[in-house]
Structure 1
Amino acid sequence: MQSSSELFPVALISAELRGDLSEDIYRLKPSNSPDKSVELALTRLGRVGYEHERGVPVILIPGSFSNRRFWFSPKGIGLGAYLARAGFDVWIAEMRGHGLSPRNRDYSRNTVSDYVRYDLPAIADFIYELNPQNAHWLGHSLGGIILAGALGGHYLDETKIASSALFGSQISRIYWPLKLPPLEWTARLLLKRFSVLSGSRLKRGPEDEPIGLVVESLRWHGLFGRFGDAKRDWWAGLAEVKVPVMAVAALGDEQDPAWACEKLLKQFGSPVSEFLCLGKAHGFSSDFGHVEMLISKDSQREVWPLLEQWLRRSPQMAAELESVELEGSNARYAE
């Protein structure tokens, strides 16, 4: 089969109609990481009858124990479907071993660092090859952490990013037992006896998670841990990120509290940022939860339209700010 890309082998494995939407599924084999068996599934949503009209790309990254169905159900419901109907070129990424992405050879050792350093850059390059416009990136929970890591580690080209949005994403919540080295070491030894964490057994979602992600998280939250990999400090790197960024938190989210989500936002160096806290105290109908912030009838009415407004407004704000800064620089130079 002829590749859909000149960058690396890409196969179109499915092309279906879902009511008024088209669903094209690609499988990428970038071979850019030590594990050459990695293949990544990427779903594109478009409007039937408008297949040749490419809107601005929006790339969606699911959270832990999740897959593309978080953003787009078989019945055509979800934020991904909503944005596609609004004219955006919607892409849904599934990480290694999730959804339609097959498990790679070293699946149990997969880490966020792998997603950040290898997988997201390959996804970005392929989408830009097919649609050379600056893309919006959205991540929920772990998906937002992956996105923040890729930005803070400077593995994504900021000149090709229109904006970023993080939903229920944080890395600042403190787990005090993990600050005690003996307990952290014991936890690592116990976890390494397993290969995966079962989403269904834990009642967290339809997917499993490789144990490598959990061990990596223990390192982040340890006594001298940091958000980063062996090469780069992602947390420090976020201060250099200039792309527009939005962080969305929910007052009913017990897993990723609002204060921690806001702390992650404030670490960004972007001059264009927005914090949205979903709760009755802020004028919303309810205190949304970790999942309900994006998957609920209330979120369809109250959250999705606000996100659409952000996607349409953020690049313009960034351009206007850059123009003002340039004019100020020219004025100082003239003096």
Structure 2
Amino acid sequence: MRAEPDQIGPEAVRIYRVRTEDDVEIAVTRLGDGEPCRAPVILIHGTFSQRSFWISNKGFGLGPYLRERGYDVWIPEARGHGRSPRDRRFRSWSAEDQMQFDLPAVQRLVEGARGQRAHWVGHSWGGVAILGAIGAGWLTEAGIQSTVVLGANITEGDDWLKRPLPRGAAWLLLTLLGRIPAGLFRLGPEPESRRYMIDFFRWKGPRPSWQTKDGHDYWAGIHRATTPLLTFAAANDEMDPVPGCRFMFDAYGADDKEWVLLGLEQGFSKDYGHVEMIVSKSASVEVWPRIADWFDAHAIRQ
């Protein structure tokens, strides 16, 4: 298995290239230089994002922290994001493609490299994608030690999708450009494709229905899930509000699951927001250790 050496700040990393079953190349950054370590951890970014959410250009973030705690950290970038190449097919790539093809390809890569089950972490859409892939059976639960999601919600927020005027304007923009230019609207560093956004319109629009394109219900599969789950919601998260995160948590079927609300009333230093629940100095003190402690408590001898 070949990997390209790279450097992010003081952090030595390696970049792996894996092809999905629908023949798309995905870049996966692995922290460290290959020395023995604990179980693998796979970090999945959200919409309009890339690996810098987990490790900044200066080498700071949840990824390096988990590495310091001894974990083998892998950071995939969704098709067409970051170091994952974007080609003429970009506008046709969907959110469901990421769940159905990208995540299983990453699971196979990490299992092949380490021969053991991984912990999965997802922020925002990244968390929804993990749980959706589990629900649809695209991610094999037997290959997962535990899952951590932060701000994972598919039922609340984005009310503009239910209003005709802004919804129509978004449709027009997608038709003309084939994508949402994230930088123009200060949404993040990466654009999202027309087909990707159409999935969100379908799942969160006026008559929302979270189903695969073949008509299978994601919720039914999530209800049957057994993998341990740790869920964080941020008290001041306007993008993925607490009720939506709680709905997702309650729908998840595993007996071993834990709910954490990041707010002042719950004893934290602030009412956290959508991004700062991971990317902030206070999160490095109050949230990151809690994630690593969860992994410690859910270690599986293999």
- Bucket of the pairwise TM-score, normalised by the shorter protein: over 0.9
Q: d(CA) in 1 for partners of 2:210 and 2:118?
A: 25
| TM-score normalised over the length of structure 2 | 0.92
Shift in Å at residue 124 of structure 1? Answer: 0.3
Rg comparison, structure with higher value:
1
- 1:40 equivalent to 2:19? Answer no
1:70-89 aligned at under 5 Å gives the runs 70-89=53-72
Shift in Å at residue 185 of structure 1? Answer: 8.5
- 1:12 equivalent to 2:8? Answer no
- 1:28 equivalent to 2:18? Answer yes
**Counterpart residue number, 1:327:** none
Q: d(CA) in 2 for partners of 1:178 and 1:66?
A: 21
Shift in Å at residue 225 of structure 1? Answer: 3.3
- 1:196 equivalent to 2:179? Answer yes
- 1:291 equivalent to 2:275? Answer yes
- Contact 2:120-2:146 at 8 Å conserved across structures: yes
Unaligned runs of 5+ in 1: 5-10, 320-335
Shift in Å at residue 13 of structure 1? Answer: 2.9
Shift in Å at residue 195 of structure 1? Answer: 1.1
Partner amino acid for 1:275?
W
Q: d(CA) in 2 for partners of 1:25 and 1:116?
A: 21
Q: Hey, which bits of structure 1, 4+ residues long, moved more than 4 A?
A: 174-180, 182-189
- Contact 1:244-1:315 at 8 Å conserved across structures: no
1:91-106 aligned at under 5 Å gives the runs 91-106=74-89
Shift in Å at residue 194 of structure 1? Answer: 2.6
Partner amino acid for 1:165?
V
Shift in Å at residue 308 of structure 1? Answer: 0.9
Unaligned runs of 5+ in 2: none
- 1:117 equivalent to 2:100? Answer yes
**Counterpart residue number, 1:306:** 290
Aligned residues: 299
Q: d(CA) in 1 for partners of 2:3 and 2:159?
A: 47
Distance 1:179 1:257, change over 3 A: closer
Q: d(CA) in 1 for partners of 2:229 and 2:92?
A: 30
**Counterpart residue number, 1:274:** 258
Shift in Å at residue 315 of structure 1? Answer: 4.5
Shift in Å at residue 29 of structure 1? Answer: 2.2
Distance 1:179 1:63, change over 3 A: closer
| TM-score normalised over the length of structure 1 | 0.83
- 1:139 equivalent to 2:122? Answer yes
Partner amino acid for 2:16?
Y
- Contact 2:27-2:84 at 8 Å conserved across structures: yes
Q: d(CA) in 1 for partners of 2:171 and 2:60?
A: 42
Distance 1:150 1:187, change over 3 A: farther
Q: d(CA) in 1 for partners of 2:181 and 2:171?
A: 18
- 1:245 equivalent to 2:226? Answer no
- Contact 2:119-2:147 at 8 Å conserved across structures: yes
* CA root-mean-square deviation: 2.2
Partner amino acid for 1:29?
R
Shift in Å at residue 76 of structure 1? Answer: 1.7
Encode CA deviations 1:224-273: one digit per residue, 9 max, x unaligned.
43212123211221001100011111111111111110110111110110
Partner amino acid for 1:13?
E
Partner amino acid for 2:205?
G
Shift in Å at residue 183 of structure 1? Answer: 7.1
Pairing partner for 1:229 from 212, 215, 218: 212
- Contact 1:226-1:235 at 8 Å conserved across structures: no
Partner amino acid for 1:228?
Q
| Larger RCO (CA under 8 A, 6+ residues apart) | 2
